[in-house]
Amino acid sequence: AHVVTESCILCKYTDCVTVCPVDCFHEGPNFLVIDPLECIDCTLCVAECPVDAIYLDADLPNGMEEYPELNTQLAKTWPVLIQKKPALADAETWGKVRDKRIYLVT
């Protein structure tokens, strides 16, 4: 399955949700996740994300090993999002910041 990784935190551009054919994105306060059980690996969302947050779980960047489990767990309680909405206020600034895991609000 595909999963959302750290770059999304505090950005949440939501371009990804508009292309998903199975509506498997779920929204939290400052992050989005994919429900890996619903994702059909169409890859359409990957190119939509302005901060390159989405990866195939078998092809994760170093340091992102925790994200498949985070996506699985958070997708169970966060609501589905299917329509694009405005990015978070400081998305442009946060898009350039690394090590944002500590800011994730669940």
* The entry of ligand F3S, ligand SF4, none that residue 24 binds, CB within 5 to 8 Å by partner kind: ligand SF4
How remote is the C-alpha of 9 from its chain's centroid?
A: 8
Out of 14, 35, 68, 70, point to the residue binding ligand F3S (CB under 6 A): 14
* Residue 19 or 80 having the CB closest to ligand SF4: 19
The rounded distance, in Å, linking the Cα atoms of 32 and 54 is: 10
Q: For tokens 């994702």, what's the residue?
A: 39
Write out the two tokens for 104. 């994730």
Kindly write out the interface string for residues 50-89 of this chain, putting x where it contacts ligand F3S by CB under 6 A and - elsewhere: -x-xx-----------------------------------
34 part of the interface to ligand F3S, by CB under 6 A: no
**Which residue(s) pair with 106 in the sheet?**
none
- Give the interface segment with ligand F3S, choosing from 6-14, 63-71, 72-80, 96-104 (CB under 6 A): 6-14
Alpha-carbon torsion, ordered 64, 90, 20, 2, to 10 deg: 0
- Going by C-alpha positions, the residue among 76, 77, 74, 23 that lies closest to residue 8 is 74
Q: How far is the CB of 46 from ligand SF4 (least distance, A)?
A: 7
